[in-house]
Each structure stands twice: as C-alpha cells, then as structure tokens.
Chains A and B, each alone.
Chain A
Amino acid sequence: SSELTQDPAMSVALGQTVRITCQGDSLRSYYASWYQQKPGQAPVFVIYGKSNRPSGIPDRFSGSRSGNTASLTITGAQAEDEADYYCNSRDSSDNHVVFGGGTTLTVL
C-alpha cells in the first residue's frame, strides 16, 4: 500500500508562517486531510479536501496540493498551534487509508 512521508519536526516563530508537507504517490490522485493532535488528546481534523476548513478552525490554517505533495500552511502561527500534525489520504487502491508519520510543530 501507499505511504505518506512527513518531516518529523518543525519549528516556527510566533506570528510567522509555516508549511508542513506530506509526500506520497497517492496524493497524485487524492487530496490529503490534516489533523492536529495535542498531548493526551484525540486528533482533530483541521483541513479536508482541496482546502476546506471545518467550522471552528481558524482561517490561518489552509491546505494545498502540488504533484505528490500536500501542504498544510499556518499563516501567523500562534502558541496554541504547537502540536503534532498528521496527514491522511485514501491510498492508491482506493479502498484503504494511509496516514503520514506526523510532524511535531514547535512554536518559538
């Protein structure tokens, strides 16, 4: 099955912009969805599809895709954005799901 690759860790200065990427062959056919997970909590989805935000998610979160790479961009990162971020997509078989390994974001 397909795999999705994420950078294990990233950092961003408070108020700056950070782009978290997710690479995989399945992303040529499918959009990624993105989840935020804080310690001891279940993941919360922040972006789905082309770049759709569920209600309650700040508009500083946005998504995009180019080729086999999906990106989650946080424009003007806040302290509360410090968390683990995971991408997922349908895999190339169209019947299964794959998750990226996650990116730990530190807000400095």
Chain B
Amino acid sequence: QVQLQESGPGLVKPSQTLSLTCTVSGGSISSGSYYWSWIRQPAGKGLEWIGRIYTSGGTSYNPSLKSRVTISVDTSKNQFSLKLSSVTAADTAVYYCAREILASGFCWFDPWGQGTLVTVSS
C-alpha cells in the first residue's frame, strides 16, 4: 500500500524559499499512470491545489502560484519536492503531498500524506 510522507522545515522566514519533500513508500513513484501533487490548507480554511508533476518531469501549476512554484521529482529516491519562493505570512499552511489520478472526465487524490505545518515568520 502506497504511503506518502512530507518532510522539511516547519518555519521559514518571509521572502525566503519554502522547500518540502514527499517520500513515497510501498511502491515505485514511477509505476502506473499517476501524477504527484502538492496541496495546501491554511488554518481553518479550505484546500488549495499547488501543482503536480509526472515522473517524466512534466508539470502543471496553479496559475495563482505559478510564478513562485517549482515541483521536481527524484525517481532514484522515490521522492518529489516543492519549492515556493518569496514566501509571506499568507503562505502559512499545512502542506500535503498526494498521489493524483487523472481519468477521462475527472481526477482524484489518494493517498495523502499526513501533512506538515509550515509557518512563515521572522
């Protein structure tokens, strides 16, 4: 059974770059027709899709974050990563990684990592 686990600093200073890694266990990140996504959730608010990567390296990003986001994959480590530059307090959130399944007419996310809280503060 595939499991995902986020890791990275829990505190980032304003204007710096937030960096998180998602480690996939229980299966190869390269197997199957899956995408690998990042999603965030500010405290008490809803979910926001940040972007996805395919193991070939192709990416898609939320237009509202596109100028600041980079998602990459390291298939040798079974990991994918998120970098979000020029962070502000508005980027404080729980960050989730998730496997995304794209089908004709719909998509869904399963499984999800447990989430990691990133706080932007000096």
> What is A's interface to B at a CB cutoff of 8 Å?
1, 29-33, 35, 42-45, 48-49, 54, 86, 88-90, 95-102
Contacts and interface: CB of A to CB of B under 8 A. Distances in A.
Name B's interface SS.
Answer: strand
B106 A100 contact: no
Contacts of B114: 42
Interface residues of B, number: 26
A101 B52 CA distance: 20
8 contacts: A1-B64, A31-B105, A42-B96, A42-B112, A49-B103, A97-B52, A97-B62, A102-B46
B68 to A, nearest CB: 16
Interface of B: 37, 39, 46-49, 52, 60, 62-64, 96, 100-103, 105-110, 112-115
Contacts of A86: 46-47
A91 B100 CA distance: 14
A96 B49 CA distance: 8
Nearest to A47: B108
